[in-house]
Structure 1
Amino acid sequence: MKFPKRYAIVLLTFLCTNVCYIERMGFSIAYTAAADSIGVNQSSKGMILSTFYYGYVLSQIPGGWAAQSVGGRRILLLSFLLWSLTCALVPLDPSRISVLVMARLLVGIAQGFIFPSIHTVLAQWVPPHERSRSVSLTTSGMYLGAAAGMLLLPSIVKHRGPQSVFLVEAGLGISWCVLWYKFASDPPHLDHPKSTGLPITKSKEKGSLMHPAKIPWKKMILSMPVWAIVVNNFTFHYSLYVLMNWLPTYFELGLQLSLQEMGSSKMLPYLNMFVFSNLGGVIADHLITRRLLSVSWSRKLLNSIGFVVSALALLVLPLFKTSAGTVLCSSVSLGFLALGRAGFAVNHLDIAPKHAGIVMGVSNTAGTLAGIIGVGLTGRILEMAKATDVNLSSPDSWKPVFFIPAYLCIFSSLIFLIFSGGERIFE
């Protein structure tokens, strides 16, 4: 039996997100080691680490427009090549702050084009009954990449030095570019009658070209199903980035535990996200294919279960005084958040298959802003808590840190339940 080309495309997009998150985790690990070795202060470290997200948020909507206008396949290759070469050529010297700021800004801008491009490609290749598991598999690469980075890269830094991480990341990125260039292509329209992405037409002069429809900006802005996706993307990334950035500090200060003593258990939340992301996709496609639920109600069900259970786990997390309890709660919370992606994250392709990259760019902009807002707000909350708990050793001081994303999850699930849709609304 011939291996369907669309499966190869989905597998390559999975590897794409995997490598991207290895790069993000790798820079944080390598730069922190290099900066600590020469005594860089926390303020400077924070500026360098956050620069990526400022570049990332700038290119989300332009990335959706470029993917629709030029082609997701081409933009994905160019953006991947750009950040890979940046990693290969830029020296990791913490004393050269301006060079690192420009490099991280450039990497952020380049990677901002990736997810809108992926959604444009998947809208072209993947038929409706396979969308949930295809998008879930693709996005689960993020969590597997984060887990792999946490497990493997510290050893590379220890034995080969921080700069070696940049070279490993560049090697992975360029290797993926070679695979994408060799195996990816635009789908012939007639071979994919069930695919509802951008149409492919023939041109005598230029061969196979895309002719995307005009972007209905006003209709998108006024669309409540679009806003339901945006709100849930914001909440998902607020919760994810707060836990990713502040949970290690909670272990060390709130629970008085050493991260080194935890071993591989700190990987469990990300591995759980990988498992539950794919599980959600399989469940959603099963519900839709067997006609047990409509597309709309399948998305609502998975989104609601994912976000509500995640909220409950966050609400009880501060009650545990041990690492095992905290790891369990954070794993449940992040795992069910990933399950919820089978709701809001796939919904781009349901309501706007021809403009999936644009809608993804808009919602991912909100998601990136959520990370910037959430991480910064959490720092201010903890500074205020120091007035009564100087060492932040009481879990009670951390309750607002976990309660805010919990309340956001409940609110967002209600918004999606009321306003989301499953039918195509943009032609």
Structure 2
Amino acid sequence: MNEDNTVSDDLKRQAAMFYNSTQREQTKDYQMTWCFWRRRRLVVALLAFFGFFNVYALRVNLSVAVVAMTEPVATTLDNGTVVYIPEFDWSSQTKGLVLSSFFYGYLVTQLPGGWLAAKIGGNRVFAIGIGATSLLTLFTPPLAHTSTALLIAVRVVEGLFEGVTYPCIHAVWSRWAPASERARLATFAFSGSYAGTVVSMPVCSLLTQYTGWPGIFYVFGIMGLVWTTIWWLVVKESPEKDPHITPAELKYIQDSRGTQAVEGSKIRHPWSKMLKSAPVWAIVMAHFSENWGFYTLLTFLPTFMQDVFKFKTSQTGFLAAVPYLAMAIVLQVAGHIADWLLRRGVMSRTNIRKLFNCGAFLSQTIFMVAAAYASTVTWCIVYLTIAVGLGGFAWSGFSVNHLDIAPPHASVLMGLSNTIATLPGIISPPLAGSIVTDKSAEQWRYVFFLSSGIYLLGAAVYGAWSSAELQPWVLELDSDASFDTDGASVTTARGYDNKALDQNSEM
């Protein structure tokens, strides 16, 4: 009995020492919460945020610039007569082609970008994509003055480089994001897209007013090159390769995420099984639906406000940015709520994704229709702000769903879904241009009705077939295994047990 008591006392002392040590570590961690750079995954998230900020600033600049480029300006002829003619006399169809040209290149590199990111690391490909786009943006004004064909060509090439960005970031998160923080880290990074839209639209309007439209491309091109340099120097492929990460944070990420059993160059993607997976196509449809409404407004909102409410170029940039400010804010809230519900066990991961995504789509359908019938600019902006802002809940559903169902293949799955979701950027501008021929409010309503119908279809498909459970084809215990776990996760003969990843930690 004495020996048993001694062993019991020793175990109690060891447990107490471990508990006290853990408490000290957590207290120390909380005291340094404001030092976000000590948590390297937060550094990655912050820089990714500014990366997507640049992605959309570089993409949206032409949407504002094209209004100034085609707006009639006072021109004095040789005989002294003052006439009002645009610098670029484009038809609505030509304008739609110029605005959509970016997406022809963007469509091509989605899957190759995801595949390349899985092989060599998403961090490098992400930097190259944004850096090259920034450099090409600096050449946009002189090429536009040379010929419209060259302007279209440079926008296509910019799209080729930007096409790798979304797939690449999922390759980054598959290594850097703990399972219980996927939604908040991913949505925080993605919210940079909308912050970039919010800032760039009014800034583009101001630059147009004070420097002329070419200043738009010079300012944002330089900003993108500065960001590229910082990202390249700071962000590593994985936490294991970051010399500044603490052992505690590294262990926390590995315990939640699982350790990688195979180097990226040896990863094999089960293409046939992925393409036959209903949850994969549910994500694709949701991504397509959200992007249709988003790209329609992103491309044509300044023009819509000019046509229907007779706003000038300097005013459209500010008001058109309001809906995207709502989106940037809602994304932050939605990501935290999703992770909070998951940690609390209020509902399953799958139901969280469905609730956020389908609820957002149904609400967006209603408010897009309301915007179509708004009689004043104030109510139109209110309805569009709510419609676009609710997209933040949708993004916290489908945009992290790739990481739920197949972490090691998330980059190529994002490449697949973003390939299909890029089609709205190609189809929507020319289609809207062909619908809106006399700049009337009635014709613009058809554009909004179409977006509403696609939101409704996306809600139906995602609600029926989506899942957030690791799929059977993700990991099979054979020579093709591309991802494995350590003691923190359970590996079965069919793959991961997703519930093993739903652990809560305060690291």
TM-score, normalised relative to structure 2: 0.76
Superposed CA deviations along residues 336-384 of structure 1, whole A, max 9, x for unmatched, are: 122211111110110111011101011111111022222333333334x
Is 1:418 aligned to 2:469, yes or no? no
1:235 aligns with 2:270: no
Residue 467 of structure 2 aligns to a residue in which SS? coil
Given that 1:34 and 1:93 are in contact with CA atoms closer than 8 Å, whether structure 2 keeps it comes out as no
Q: Which residue does the alignment assign to 1:47? A: 97
C-alpha distance 377-216 of structure 1, shift in aligned 2 (>3 A): same
Q: Is contact 2:64-2:302 (8 Å) kept? A: no
- 1:205 corresponds to which residue? none
Choose the corresponding residue for 1:382, options 397, 414, 436: 436
Residue 11 of structure 1 corresponds to: 46
| One-letter code aligned to 1:199 | Q
SS in 2 for 1:110: helix
Distance 1:248 1:73, change over 3 A: closer
Report the equivalent of 1:127.
Answer: 178
Q: CA deviation at 1:392?
A: 1.9
1:74-93 aligned at under 5 Å gives the runs: 74-89=124-139, 91-93=142-144
Shift of 1:259: 6.2
Whether the 8 Å contact between 2:404 and 2:470 is mirrored in structure 1 is yes
Farther off after superposition, 23-32 or 189-198: 189-198
Q: Deviations over 1:295-336 (max 9, x none)?
A: 111111111221111111112223320111111110111111
Match of 1:348 in 2: 402
Aligned 1:274-423 pairs, distance under 5 A: 274-383=328-437, 392-393=440-441, 395=442, 397-423=443-469
Assess if the C-alpha contact under 8 Å between 1:32 and 1:45 holds in 2. Answer: no
Comparing 180-189 with 348-357, greater Cα deviation is found at 180-189
Contact 1:51-1:105 within 8 A present in 2 as well: yes
Distance 1:46 1:224 in 2: 34
Q: How far does residue 145 in structure 1 lie from its aligned partner after superposition?
A: 0.6
Q: Which moved more, 1:366-375 or 1:137-146?
A: 366-375
Contact 1:123–1:195 under 8 Å retained in 2: no
- How far apart are the structure 1 equivalents of 2:158 and 2:430? 21
Asked if the contact 1:187/1:200 (under 8 Å) is kept, the reply is no
Over residues 382-403 of structure 1, what are the superposed CA-to-partner deviations in whole Å (9 max), with x where a residue is unaligned? Answer: 34xxxxxx6624x4x4433222
Report SS of the residue matched to 2:436. helix
Measured in 2, the distance between the counterparts of 1:262 and 1:77 equals 31
Kept in 2: contact 1:198–1:210 (CA 8 A): no
Question: Could you tell me whether the CA contact under 8 Å between 1:351 and 1:422 is conserved in 2?
Answer: yes
Q: Is the 8 A contact 2:63 2:302 kept in 1?
A: no
1:415 to partner: Cα distance: 1.5
Take 2:51 and 2:207, find their aligned partners in 1: how far apart are those partners?
21
Question: How many equivalent pairs are there?
Answer: 412
Name the CA shift for 1:176/1:344 in 2 (closer, same or farther; >3 Å).
Answer: same
Contact 2:361 / 2:455 at 8 angstroms: preserved in 1? yes
Q: What one-letter code is carried by the residue in structure 2 that aligns with 1:230?
A: V
1:20 to 45, 55, 69: 55
Opposite residue 366 of structure 1, the aligned amino acid is I
Structure 1 residue 233 displacement after superposition = 0.6
Query: Are residues 234 and 317 of structure 1, via their aligned partners in 2, closer, same or farther at CA, if it must alter by over 3 Å?
Result: same
Which ranges of structure 1 fall in alignment gaps of 5 or more residues? 202-208, 384-389
With 161-170 and 358-367 compared, the bigger mean Cα shift is at 161-170
Letter matched to residue 114 of structure 2: G
The one-letter code of the counterpart of 2:47 is: L
Secondary structure of the residue aligned to 2:323 is helix
Amino acid at match of 1:358: V
Task: Give how far 1:156 is off.
Answer: 2.0
- Asked whether the 8 Å contact 2:58–2:134 carries over to 1, the reply is no
Equivalent residue for 2:254? 193
Moved more, 414-423 or 368-377: 368-377
Greater mean alpha carbon deviation, residues 245-254 or residues 398-407: 245-254
Distance in 1, Cα, partners of 2:88 & 2:316 = 26
Separation in structure 1 between the aligned mates of residue 368 and residue 54 of structure 2, nearest angstrom = 29
2:107 aligned to which of 54, 57, 60:
57
- 1:200, CA displacement in angstroms? 6.9
| SS of structure 2 residue aligned to 1:342 | helix
